[in-house]
Amino acid sequence: MNAKRKATKVILYVLLVVLAIAMLVPFYWMVISSLKLNKDVFSIPMRWWPETMHPENYSVIWKKLPLVTFFKNTAKLTIITTIVQLCTSCFAAYGFTKCKFVGRDLIFLMYVTTIAVPWQVYMVPQFILVSKMGLNDTHIGLILMQAFSAFGVFLIRQFYISIPDELCEAARIDGLNEFGIFRKIVFPLGKPAMATLTIFTFTNVWNDFMGPLIYLKTKELKTVQLGIRMFISQYGADYAWIMAASVCSLVPIVIVFLSCQRFFVEGVAASGIKG
Amino acid sequence: MSSNGKTGGLTSSQKRKIRNNMTGYAFILPNLIGYTIFVFLPVIFSFVLSVMSWDGSQRPMEFVGLANFVDIFGDKIFRGTLVHTVSYALMTVAPTLVLALLLAVLLNNKIKGVAIFRTAFYFPYIASIVAVGAVWNMLFQPDFGPVNEILKFIGIQNPPRWVVDKDWAMVAVSIVSVWKYMGYYMIVYLAALQGISNSLYEAASIDGANGWQKLWYITVPMLTPTTFFVLIMLTIQCFKVFDLVYVMTGGGPGNATKTLVNYIYEKAFTTWEFGPASAGAIVLFAIVLIITLIQFSGEKKWSKDL
C-alpha cells in the first residue's frame, strides 16, 4: 500500500514537472532567442542552447526604441489609475455600506446593472466623449476612462459589509465623525481587499493594449505594450530584437508578480467568488 | 422657535437626516461623478449611436432607425466575424475548462513545491498579450518554427501552416488562449476545491472508493457551481476577444480570424463609421446579456439545490 502511494506521488511529480515545463517553454524560447543573432533564431536543427550569446541585442533595442519613455509613461498611467481607483472605490464602498441616504439603493442598482456590460460595448461613445473633452491622445484621458470602476466598488463593498456596524456605532458614540470612522476604522481594516484591487488594476493597466491603442497616437506618450507592438511591426524580421524587446516588457510585471504572489492568488479567488 | 431643538423650521431629526444624506453623497460622489461620465453615459450613448448615422464630424447625427443593424447583418464580413468568434469560443472554452480543472486537482494534493508549480501555471496569465503573441507567432512559424519542427520530428509530414493558413489561424489563436488563461481558472478551481469537506473523501475511502472514483463522484459534482461559473466567464471572455487576434494575425489571413470586437474597432477607429460600430457593439451586448441571464437562472438553480 505504501509503495503504491509512493508510486502515485512520483507519477504526480513527473506529470506536474512536465506540465510546468510545457507551460514555461515559450518563455525560455523567448529568452534564448533574444540572445541569438537575428538570422540564427530559426536555425535548423533547432538549438535549445545558443552557441554564442549576444546580449548586445539588448543595448541595440535600447537605442532603437525609447524604452525609458515607454516605461515612464506606463508607470505613470498605472500608478495614477490605481491610486484614483483605489481611493474613489473605498470612499464609495463606505458610502454604500455604512451610510444611509436617499437614493442609495437606486444608485447602487445603476452600478449593478452596468458591471456586466463589457468595456468593448461602450468604448466607442466613451472615446467620442473623451475626445470632445479635448483629452484624446493625452494620458489624462486614458486615466479618466479606466479610473472609475464598478468592479472596484463591488470588491471593496463586499469586504466592508463584513465589518460590523456596531464598530462604527461605538466610534460614533465616542464622538468620531463619519470621515474619522472611515479613516481610522474601516479604511485600515479593508487592506486585504485593497491589496486585491491594487494587484488587479496594476496588472490590467500595465498590460492593457486596446485602451492605449485607441487613445495614444503621439510616440512620446505611448506605453510599453504599444511601443513593443510598434517595434514588432517595424522590425518584423529582426526576430532576436523582437524577443529582446518582449523580454524587457515582461521584466517589471514579473518582479511585481513574484514579490506579491500571495495577493495575486488570493485576488483571483476573491474575485472568482464575487461573480 | 420653540425650545425643543427646533431651529429654522426643521426638527433636529430632519437636520440629522439631511446631514446623513450629505455625508453619504460626499462619500460616493467622487466615484459616482466619474462613473456617470465615463461609463454610465457612454453605455446609454452606445444604444443611441446604434440607431444614428454619424462620422464624428461637426455634421449633426441623423436618425436612421435600424438601418445600421440591417447594414451590418447584410455585411458578409460582419457575419463572418460572428462565425469566427463563435468558433473561437467553441475551440477555447472546453479545453481551458478541462485543463484548468485537471491542474487544480493535481495541485490540490499535499505535496512539496505546490507554490512553485502554481506560479508556473499561472505565469502565462500575467504576461502581456503583446509579448506572448510575438513569441507564439515565432513558435508557430510555418517553415522553421519550433512547433512545426517538433511535429515533423514526431512524423507529421505536412504540419499546419498555422497563422498564415486561413483554416488553422484561429486554431493557433485558440491554443495560445488556452495556454494563457488556464492558469487563471485553475486558481478559481483551487479555491473551490479547498471548500470541499474532507469528510466526504474519508467516507468514500471507508467505502473503498479509489482515487478516480473520488474524483468522478465527489470532486466533479461538488465543483458543478464553479464549473458553471467558469464556463460563463470563459464564454463571455471569448466573445470579447480582440488583443490576441490583433497581435497574432491582425484578423487575417484574409478576414479569417476577424472577430466581433475587431469589427467594432475597425468600423469605429479606421473608417469612423460610428453607427455600424455601435450596432456591432449592441450585438456584443445582447450576446453577453443572454449569457449573463443564463448565469442568473443557473445560480438560482444551484442555490436551490444546496
According to the model, what pLDDT value does residue B205 have?
85
3-state secondary structure of B10: strand
- B3 within some domain: no
According to the model, what pLDDT value does residue B289 have?
93
Burial class (CB in 10 A: 0-12, 13-18, 19+), A56: exposed
Cβ atoms within 10 A of the Cβ of A195, count? Answer: 17
Q: What percent of chain A has pLDDT over 90?
A: 36
Burial class (CB in 10 A: 0-12, 13-18, 19+), A218: exposed
Residue pairs spanning A and B at CB distance below 8 A = 258
Rounded Cα distance between A162 and A190, Å, is 10
3-state secondary structure of B60: coil
The count of C-alpha atoms lying within 13 angstroms of the C-alpha of A266, restricted to the half-sphere facing its C-beta, is: 14
- Most B CBs within 10 Å: which of A4, A122, A222, as the mutation test of the B interface? A122
According to the model, what pLDDT value does residue A92 have?
94
Q: What is the DSSP string of B125-175?
A: HHS-HHHHHHHHHHHT-TTT-HHHHHHHHTT-SS---GGGSTTTHHHHHHH
Strand partners, B26: none
Which of A120, A224, A268 has the CB atom closest to B188's CB atom? Answer: A268
Least confident of A182-191, A261-270, B252-261: A261-270
Please, which residues have CB within 8 angstroms of residue A132's CB and are 6 or more apart in sequence? none
DSSP code for B7: B
Find the mean pLDDT for residues A35-57. Answer: 78
Chain A hits for B289, Cβ within 8 Å:
116
Q: Are residues B81 and B48 in the same domain?
A: no
According to the model, what pLDDT value does residue A173 have?
87
The closest of B239, B240, B220 to B228, measured between CA atoms, is B220
Establish whether the linkage from the previous residue to A55 is cis, with ω within 30° of 0.
Answer: no
According to the model, what pLDDT value does residue A271 have?
60
Q: Are residues B238 and B275 in the same domain?
A: yes
Rounded Cα distance between B144 and B37, Å, is 51
Q: Are residues A86 and A110 in the same domain?
A: yes
Give me the number of domains chain B comprises.
2
B167 to chain A, closest Cα gap in Å: 23
Q: Are residues B31 and B126 in the same domain?
A: no
At residue A52, what are phi and psi to the nearest 5 degrees? -120, 145
Find the mean pLDDT for residues A25-30. Answer: 92
Q: Are residues A118 and A190 in the same domain?
A: yes
Question: What is the torsional sign of CA A18, A24, A26, A28?
Answer: negative
Residues 158 to 217 of B: which have CB under 8 A from any A CB?
Answer: 179, 183-184, 187-188, 190-192, 211
Q: Are residues B59 and B146 in the same domain?
A: no
CA angle B171, B131, A210 (to 5 degrees): 80
Name the pLDDT band for A270 (thresholds 50, 70, 90). Answer: low
The closest of A51, A114, A271 to B233, measured between CA atoms, is A271
What is the distance between the terminal CA atoms of chain A, rounded to a whole angstrom? 42
Please, which residues have CB within 8 angstroms of residue B107's CB and are 6 or more apart in sequence? A16, B114, B117, B118, B121, B186, B190
Q: Are residues B159 and B226 in the same domain?
A: yes
Which tens digits make up the pLDDT trace of A201-255? 888 899 999 999 999 999 899 999 999 998 888 887 788 899 999 998 898 888 8
Q: Are residues A143 and A9 in the same domain?
A: no
- B69 within some domain: no
Chain B hits for A43, Cβ within 8 Å:
144
- CATH code (residue B274): 1.10.3720.10
Question: Which of A113-117, A269-273, B256-260 is modeled with the greatest confidence?
Answer: B256-260
Per-residue pLDDT of chain B (306 residues; tens, 9 = 90+): 444 444 556 788 888 888 888 888 999 999 999 999 999 999 999 999 888 888 777 777 888 888 889 989 998 999 999 999 999 999 999 999 999 999 999 998 888 888 889 889 999 999 999 999 999 998 998 888 888 888 888 888 888 889 888 889 999 999 999 999 999 999 999 988 888 888 888 888 888 888 788 888 888 888 988 899 899 999 999 999 999 999 999 887 888 899 999 999 999 999 888 889 999 999 999 999 999 898 888 878 776 655
Which tens digits make up the pLDDT trace of A156-169? 998 898 888 888 88
Chain A hits for B145, Cβ within 8 Å:
42
According to the model, what pLDDT value does residue B306 have?
52
Prediction pTM value:
0.89
Rounded Cα distance between B131 and B107, Å, is 27
According to the model, what pLDDT value does residue B250 have?
86
- B135/A110 CB distance under 8 A: no
- B250 shares contact with chain A (CB less than 8 Å): no
- A240 within some domain: no
Q: Are B131 and A32 in contact (CB under 8 A)?
A: no
- A210/B28 CB distance under 8 A: no
Q: Are residues B57 and B107 in the same domain?
A: no
The closest of B68, B294, B236, B58 to A118, measured between CA atoms, is B236
- B229 shares contact with chain A (CB less than 8 Å): yes
Q: Are residues A139 and A69 in the same domain?
A: yes
Which residue would you say has higher pLDDT here, A46 or A190?
Answer: A190
- A99/B285 CB distance under 8 A: no
According to the model, what pLDDT value does residue A273 have?
47
Find the mean pLDDT for residues A32-60. Answer: 80
- A29/B139 CB distance under 8 A: yes
Which of A26, A44, A126 has the CB atom closest to B139's CB atom? Answer: A26
For residue A46, what are the domain limits?
Answer: 2-55
Q: Are residues A209 and A123 in the same domain?
A: yes
- B45/A128 CB distance under 8 A: yes
- B2 within some domain: no
Which residue would you say has higher pLDDT here, A46 or B150?
Answer: B150
The count of C-alpha atoms lying within 13 angstroms of the C-alpha of B253, restricted to the half-sphere facing its C-beta, is: 11
A96 to chain B, closest Cα gap in Å: 7
Find the mean pLDDT for residues A11-29. Answer: 91
According to the model, what pLDDT value does residue B6 have?
47
Rounded Cα distance between A24 and B180, Å, is 11
- A41/B138 CB distance under 8 A: yes
What would the grid cell of residue A221 be?
506618450
- B46 shares contact with chain A (CB less than 8 Å): yes
Distances (CA, A) of A112 to A106, A153, B34, B40: 10, 10, 16, 11
According to the model, what pLDDT value does residue A179 have?
86
According to the model, what pLDDT value does residue B305 have?
58
Residues 63 to 102 of B: which have CB under 8 A from any A CB?
Answer: none
- B38/A118 CB distance under 8 A: no
Which of A92, A94, A246 has the CB atom closest to B134's CB atom? Answer: A246
Q: Residue A275: is its pLDDT beyond 50?
A: no
Give me the number of domains chain A comprises.
2
- Most A CBs within 10 Å: which of B119, B135, B274, B294, as the mutation test of the A interface? B135
- A19/B121 CB distance under 8 A: yes
Chain A hits for B20, Cβ within 8 Å:
99-101
Q: Are residues A81 and A51 in the same domain?
A: no
Exposure pattern of B55-89 as b/e (b: 16+ CB <10 Å)?
A: eeeeeebeebeebbbebbeeeeebebbbebbebbb
Find the mean pLDDT for residues A15-24. Answer: 92
Q: Are residues A102 and A220 in the same domain?
A: yes
Please, which residues have CB within 8 angstroms of residue A9's CB and are 6 or more apart in sequence? B111
B60 to chain A, closest Cα gap in Å: 14
- CATH code (residue A165): 1.10.3720.10
B221 to chain A, closest Cα gap in Å: 18
Establish whether the linkage from the previous residue to A45 is cis, with ω within 30° of 0.
Answer: yes
- A153/B240 CB distance under 8 A: no
Q: Residue A62: is its pLDDT beyond 90?
A: no
DSSP code for B208: T
